[in-house]
Amino acid sequence: MGDARYHKRHRIRIFQEIDQKPDPIKQYIHAQDTYLKAHARQLTASDTSSLNALQDSGYIEFVINKRNVKQDMFIEFDGKTLQISSVDPFDFETPELKLQAYEVNAKSYVDVRWKS
């Protein structure tokens, strides 16, 4: 497998919601008291227009080491909660994964769980 292409100097957390009535549970995909390292950048208007998206610079692109991440997950970054909108394996020769996400309102959860 190829070398990593990006310097990952930002710290993020990724979680998913587990449906449970009446309120969902927050389940992180990593251990408690840990962060994932990521490269992060705000998408420009030209980035979003080339993707035929709304020209909204509210999208942030993250590059992380490969792991099982899906579009229904969320990222905590810089005090904000973001919904993952796309997951791009980017190329099968590198150990990295590219994600795009946009800010959403943070929710409250009845329980918070961490991967062991």
Q: Please give the full DSSP string across the chain, using - where no structure is assigned.
A: -----S---EEEEEEEEE--SSS-EEEESS-TT--EEEEEEEPPHHHHHHTT--S-TTEEEEEEE-----TT-EEEETTEEEEEEEEE---TTSSEEEEEEEEE-----S-EE---
- Asked, for residue 89, whether it belongs to a domain, the answer is yes
CATH number at residue 80: 2.40.10.270
Give me the pLDDT at residue 27, please. 97
Domain limits at 14? 10-107
Q: What is the mean pLDDT of the chain?
A: 86
Total domains in the fold of the chain:
1
pTM for this structure? 0.84
Q: What is the pLDDT of residues 16-59, one digit of tens each?
A: 999 888 889 999 999 999 999 999 999 865 555 555 555 456 89
Q: What is the pLDDT of residues 67-103, one digit of tens each?
A: 999 999 999 999 999 999 999 876 677 789 999 999 9
The Cβ-side half-sphere exposure at 49, using a 13 Å CA radius, reads: 4
